Amino acid sequence: MTARDRRDLATARRIVVKVGSSSISGENADQIGPLVEALAAAHARGCEVVLVSSGAIATGMPFLSLDERPTDLATQQAAAAVGQNVLIYRYQAALREFHIVAGQVLLTAGDLENHTHRSNAQRAMERLLGLRILPIVNENDTVATHEIRFGDNDRLAAMVAQLVRADALVLLSDVPALYTAPPGTPGAEVIDTIEYGTPLDRFQFGSTKVNGVGTGGAATKASAARLAAASGTGVLVTRADLVADALGGAAVGTWFAPNPAPVAPVMAHASVD
């Protein structure tokens, strides 16, 4: 049943959770444990969980002796190839104590735009969830072209939520909620709920660039949330360390109410990270 309210997350049948690079790599690599614990708790109550995880490039950088995110495509692809392997290992190591097996799913924008590829991805994801496997989705960075440089995994997460017909989507951020203006700006206030159809231009979301390891930000999260909400998926945006509260239906974050008359997703060309 579609989550009509953030409280419905506690009983949702299927949830997609997206986490960004900065939340699970570098000095925050140890945060994979608390994230997995929250996902495992939802899994234990019967919820089908899909994790969309950024972080392949950021995780691979130290193994290539890189201090900053590479700017050339070939090195980005090399870092992703190494980092994706390490990232999945870390997730599986954390999941082991909960007796949960992870399944890696790498997608490109083209996979979700091509009918045959989209159907294959959907069938594979449904089978993984039916087998109680926890799919971990990321952009297939090693074969990406411009997507690796200009996209963001918030949009990918929204498209995955559409693909698996999720009841809810949780976008994890570096801030506890979205604000009416960039945090720290005089007069900026927390946005509790954005009803479907509310014009987003009334809010002054911040830059799409977050830090040296990832892309995304308030603007991309708002855009992705609106995309998922249009097809009937409720969306919560909150800070990564509040994920357990979020999945438990607590009053945290910013809630994007779903479209009461859902429309079929339109797979127009879009770049994803």
Count CB atoms within 10 A of the CB of residue 46. 9
Give the pLDDT band of residue 171 (cuts 50, 70, 90).
very high
Q: Above 50 in pLDDT, residue 271?
A: no
> How would residue 266 be classed by pLDDT, with cut points 50, 70 and 90?
low
168 pLDDT band, cuts 50/70/90, is: very high
The residue-averaged pLDDT of 237-264 equals 94
Percent above pLDDT 90 for the chain = 70
Are 199 and 226 in contact by the 8 Å Cβ rule? The answer is no
Binding site residue list for ATP: 18, 173-174
> Which residue type sits at 102?
A
Quote the pLDDT of residue 73. 86
DSSP string, 131-189: TT-EEEEEE-TTT-STHHHH--HHHHHHHHHHHTT-SEEEEEESSSS-BSSSTTSTT--
User: Of 78-92, 104-118, 214-228, where does mean pLDDT reach its minimum?
Assistant: 214-228
pLDDT beyond 70 at 211: no
pLDDT for the residue numbered 248: 97
Task: Write down the pLDDT at residue 273.
Answer: 36
pTM, two decimals, is 0.91
Contact yes or no for 252/242 (Cβ under 8 A) = yes
Q: Which amino acid is at 129?
A: L
Interatomic CA distance for residues 189 and 187, integer angstroms: 6
Q: Do residues 253 and 185 make contact, with C-beta atoms less than 8 angstroms apart?
A: no
Residue with the larger pLDDT of the pair 149 and 142: 142
Mean pLDDT, residues 16-43 taken together:
95
CA–CA dist 49, 136 (Å, integer):
9
Average pLDDT over residues 48-61: 95
When pLDDT is averaged across residues 77-81 and rounded to a whole number, the result is: 93
For the stretch 144-164, pLDDT in tens is 665 444 357 899 999 999 999
Show the tokens assigned to 30. 């140890």
Strand 168-173 and strand 234-239: the pairing is: parallel
Instruction: Pinpoint the alpha helices (H) of the chain.
Output: 21-24, 32-44, 56-60, 73-95, 109-113, 115-130, 147-150, 153-163, 218-230, 243-247
- Paired with 249 in beta bridges are none
Stretch 243-254: mean pLDDT, rounded?
97
Binding-site annotation, residues: 18, 54, 141, 153, 173-174
Q: What spatial distance separates the first Cα and last Cα of the chain, rounded to whole Å?
A: 29
What is the arithmetic mean of pLDDT over 237-265? 93
Chain centre to alpha carbon of residue 82: 21
Give the Cα separation of 46 and 64 in Å (integer): 40
The mean pLDDT value for 230-239 works out to 96
Binding residues for substrate: 54, 141, 153
Q: Which residues contact 169 (CB under 8 A, 6 or more apart)?
A: 15, 16, 17, 18, 157, 158, 161, 225, 228, 233, 234, 235, 236
Length of the chain: 273
Label residue 72 exposed, middle or buried (CB < 10 Å: 0-12, 13-18, 19+): exposed
The pLDDT score that the predictor gives to residue 258 is: 96
Please state the rounded mean pLDDT for residues 192-201: 90
Domains and CATH numbers, the chain: 6-256 (3.40.1160.10)
Which has the higher per-residue pLDDT, 217 or 124? 124
Q: What is the mean pLDDT of the chain?
A: 88
CA triple 166-161-80, angle to 5 deg = 135
For position 116, what pLDDT does the model report? 94
Q: Which pLDDT score is estimated for 206?
A: 56
Residue tagged 């879009």 (tokens): 270
